[in-house]
Amino acid sequence: MGKLDILVHCLAFADKEGLVGDFSAIPKEAFTQALEISTYSLASLTKVAKPLMTEGGSILTLSYLGGVKVIPNYNLMGIAKAGLEMSVRYLASELGPLNIRVNAISAGPIRTLASSAVGGILDMIHHVEQVAPLKRTVTQTEVGNAAAFLCSDLASGITGQVLYVDAGYEIMGM
């Protein structure tokens, strides 16, 4: 092979004790593990992908609103996603001269195996359906379509950005 055009990063993990209870009570080991898996892994994978992206390319990761706003039962993952989103910006700055774009998608809550670990996920989904301008949540297909766009030449002028694919939920104040 020897050449890579696209890297999609979708690694995330926080131990259950990092998601519930008081944030200040999260054990250091859980904190370190979540940031290593959910945040540092993007930089680590990028380091390996960079020499293979000889003709430019696109790196994409997945985030969530909990990286910029407090979300109940998200605690440590919010910190990890905040770090991930800042990593997107630093990597975009570093890799831009190589014509490698780095972006993130912040999807609204979707019923998945991973989301089932977040306490109250169904309540979150119903809340988004009531509050979002589109009065619904998004589908995996809609997130996939946004990913295809960001990884394609149609997004050749976009880097260092977080694209919200959440039926407009992120824009709402109350």
Assess if residue 22 is contained within a domain.
yes
Looking up tokens 């995996």 gives 140
Domain membership of residue 76 as a residue range: 6-169
Q: What local confidence, expressed as pLDDT, does residue 113 receive? A: 67
Assess if residue 174 is contained within a domain.
no
127/174 Cα distance (integer angstroms)? 11
Q: What is the CATH number of the domain that holds 80?
A: 3.40.50.720
Domain total of the chain? 1
pLDDT in tens, 50-100: 999 999 999 999 999 999 999 988 899 999 999 999 999 999 999 999 999
pLDDT in tens, 10-23: 999 999 889 889 99
Per-residue pLDDT band for 116 (boundaries 50, 70, 90) equals: low
The helix (H) or strand (E) run that includes residue 57 is strand 57-63
Assess if residue 111 is contained within a domain.
yes
142/149 Cα distance (integer angstroms)? 11
Q: What local confidence, expressed as pLDDT, does residue 124 receive? A: 87
Assess if residue 1 is contained within a domain.
no
Instruction: Concatenate the DSSP letters of all residues of 66-109 into one string.
Output: GGTS--TTTHHHHHHHHHHHHHHHHHHHHHGGGTEEEEEEEEPP
pTM of the model: 0.93
Mean pLDDT of the chain: 94
Active site residues: 64, 74
Beta-sheet strand order (sheet of 100-107)? 6-9, 57-63, 100-107, 162-165
Residue 114 has pLDDT above 80, yes or no: no
| More confident site: 106 or 119 | 106
